[in-house]
């Protein structure tokens, strides 16, 4: 079988290719205008629908909270609950609060003073302790020196006694032995 | 029998885009016959083809601003026509179709033989009997003389696939037509 199908192509060419009727330009322009108008109308409807949907969503969201009031010369629309009026504080409470603040300040100052006194006491105690130690050292040194002095004195006394005895012996031994 | 290619239309489109309505009318007059014949062969219905041709140029008018000069005008125009033909086939318009061959019946006194008319009817019927995808390939390849690459750009199908479809379609037609008409 010939892949180019020559015989078949001849048969296909036998099908007529008569010219179609010409395009109606006037009708084409009318149809174009009509279609453009319909498209614009459709977009307007869509825009209105979207706006209406948004408005209805807003209304349904606000409706439960909506309050409409009409007086003689006033028309008010309100949504949501009005805020609660703030209660005026009791002046005595204010005074108590101020008093408490003062007491707290005084307590803090007292705490600080107490801390300072404690610090001073510790410093003095440390000083006294140090002085005691110094005094103790001096006393110890003094005792030591006193001991040394006593020892020295005893020695001097012994020497003095020796010397006295020796002198007595010398003086009185001579007297006995006469001229 | 391939249609003669109309002159390039990029210039006409540019003139039309700049507000010259006569450029659009030139485009219509240059392409109404090729498009009409293409739709007639594709649908197998002369009256439907005329309506679709009118609609095709209406769409060209409404969507002219979307045309980009990078591609070929013919591809863009035939794409519009092809989509219209496919939509019509899907809608399955239930009105008596005017067969293509009968619509082009020559007047009785022209001397065209009945055999030729009957032959045209058989060919038209065989073509109409093909599945839509195969019929499109045959019409575009044989009658519009599009190569497979250009056809691929138009149909959005690889050229190799279209070659296969063409071979299958021609084989089917050969099996139907050659025994009847040879």
* C-alpha B84: how far from chain center: 11
Q: Is residue A56 part of a domain?
A: yes
For residue B103, pLDDT over 90 is answered with no
For residue B34, pLDDT over 80 is answered with yes
Domain B1-98 class, CATH top level: mainly alpha
Contacts of A9 in chain B (CB under 8 A): 142
- Tokens 């032995």 belong to residue: A177
Contact B58 A35 (CB under 8 A): yes
Q: Is residue A10 part of a domain?
A: no
Contact B37 A8 (CB under 8 A): no
Q: Is residue A33 part of a domain?
A: yes
Q: Report the C-alpha gap between B39 and B46 in whole angstroms.
A: 8
Contacts of B28 in chain A (CB under 8 A): 23, 25, 28
Q: Is residue A120 part of a domain?
A: no
Write out the two tokens for A119.
Answer: 């610090």
Quote the domain boundaries for residue A49: 26-60
Q: Is residue A32 part of a domain?
A: yes
Contact A15 B103 (CB under 8 A): no
User: Nearest CA of chain B to the CA of A50: how many Å?
Assistant: 26
- Tokens 């109309």 belong to residue: B6
pLDDT tens, position by position, A152-161: 888 888 887 8
| Domain count of the fold of chain A | 1
**pLDDT class of B113 with cuts at 50, 70, 90:** low
Write out the two tokens for A76.
Answer: 């008010």
**Residue B92 CB neighbour total at 10 angstroms:** 6
Residue B1: predicted pLDDT: 39
The residues that bridge with A75 in the sheet, in sequence order, are A70
Mean pLDDT along residues B23-39: 94
Contact A28 B170 (CB under 8 A): no
For residue B55, pLDDT over 70 is answered with yes
Q: Where are the domains of chain B?
A: 1-98, 113-182
Q: Report the C-alpha gap between A104 and A96 in whole angstroms.
A: 12
pLDDT tens, position by position, A74-99: 888 887 666 777 777 677 878 878 88
**Residue A150 CB neighbour total at 10 angstroms:** 10
How high does pLDDT run on average in chain B? 84
Q: Is B54 on the interface with A (CB under 8 A)?
A: yes
Residue A177: predicted pLDDT: 59
Measured in Å, how far apart are chain B's first and last C-alpha atoms? Answer: 20
Measured in Å, how far apart are chain A's first and last C-alpha atoms? Answer: 194
For residue A69, pLDDT over 60 is answered with yes
Mean pLDDT along residues B22-29: 94
Residue A123: predicted pLDDT: 86
If you measure CA to CA, which chain A residue comes closest to B142?
A9
For residue B169, pLDDT over 50 is answered with yes
Contact B32 A23 (CB under 8 A): yes
Q: Is A5 on the interface with B (CB under 8 A)?
A: yes
Residue B28: predicted pLDDT: 96
Q: Is residue A41 part of a domain?
A: yes
Q: Is residue A99 part of a domain?
A: no
Lowest mean pLDDT among A143-147, A168-172, B46-50, B158-162: A168-172
Query: Which residue in A16, A27, A28 is closest to B120 by CB distance?
Result: A16
For residue A3, pLDDT over 80 is answered with no
pLDDT tens, position by position, A100-143: 888 888 888 888 888 888 888 888 888 888 888 888 888 888 88
Q: What is the DSSP string of B60-83?
A: HHHTGGG--TTS-HHHHHHHHHHH
Q: Is residue A39 part of a domain?
A: yes
Residue A176: predicted pLDDT: 61
Residue A145: predicted pLDDT: 87
Lowest mean pLDDT among A83-97, B134-148, B155-169: A83-97
For the purposes of burial, counting CB atoms within 10 Å of the CB of B125, is it exposed (0-12), middle (13-18) or buried (19 or more)? Answer: middle
| CATH number for domain B113-182, candidates 1.10.10.10, 1.10.3720.10, 3.40.50.2300, 3.40.50.20 | 1.10.10.10
């Amino acid at each position: 079988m010939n892949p180019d199908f020559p015989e078949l192509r001849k048969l296909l060419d036998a099908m007529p290719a008569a010219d179609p009727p010409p395009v109606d330009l006037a009708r084409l322009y009318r149809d174009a205008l009509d279609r453009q108008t319909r498209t614009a109308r459709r977009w307007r409807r869509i825009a209105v629908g979207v706006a209406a949907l948004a408005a209805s969503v807003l209304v349904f969201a606000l409706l439960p909270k909506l309050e409409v009031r009409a007086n003689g010369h006033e028309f008010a629309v309100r949504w949501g609950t009005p805020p609660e009026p703030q209660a005026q504080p009791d002046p005595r409470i204010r005074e108590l609060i101020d008093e408490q603040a003062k007491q707290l300040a005084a307590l803090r100052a007292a705490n600080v003073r107490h801390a300072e006194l404690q610090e001073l006491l510790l410093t003095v105690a440390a000083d006294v302790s140090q002085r005691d130690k110094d005094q103790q050292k001096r006393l110890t040194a003094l005792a030591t020196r006193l001991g040394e002095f006593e020892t020295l004195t005893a020695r001097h006394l012994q020497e003095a006694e020796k010397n006295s005895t020796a002198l007595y012996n010398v003086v009185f031994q001579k007297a006995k032995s006469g001229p | 029998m391939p249609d003669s290619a109309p002159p390039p239309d990029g210039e006409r489109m540019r003139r039309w885009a700049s507000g010259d309505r006569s450029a659009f009318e030139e485009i219509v007059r240059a392409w109404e016959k090729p498009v009409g014949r293409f739709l007639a062969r594709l649908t197998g219905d002369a009256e439907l083809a005329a309506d679709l041709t009118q609609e095709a140029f209406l769409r060209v008018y409404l969507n002219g601003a979307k045309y980009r000069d990078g591609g070929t005008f013919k591809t863009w125009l035939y794409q519009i026509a092809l989509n219209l033909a496919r939509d019509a086939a899907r809608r399955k318009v239930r009105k008596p179709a005017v067969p293509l061959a009968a619509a082009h019946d020559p007047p009785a006194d022209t001397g065209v033989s009945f055999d030729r008319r009957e032959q045209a009817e058989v060919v038209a019927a065989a073509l109409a009997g093909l599945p839509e995808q195969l019929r499109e390939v045959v019409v575009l390849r044989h009658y519009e003389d599009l190569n497979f690459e250009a056809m691929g750009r138009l149909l959005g199908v690889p050229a190799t696939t279209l070659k296969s479809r063409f071979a299958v379609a021609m084989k089917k037609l050969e099996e139907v037509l050659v025994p009847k008409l040879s």
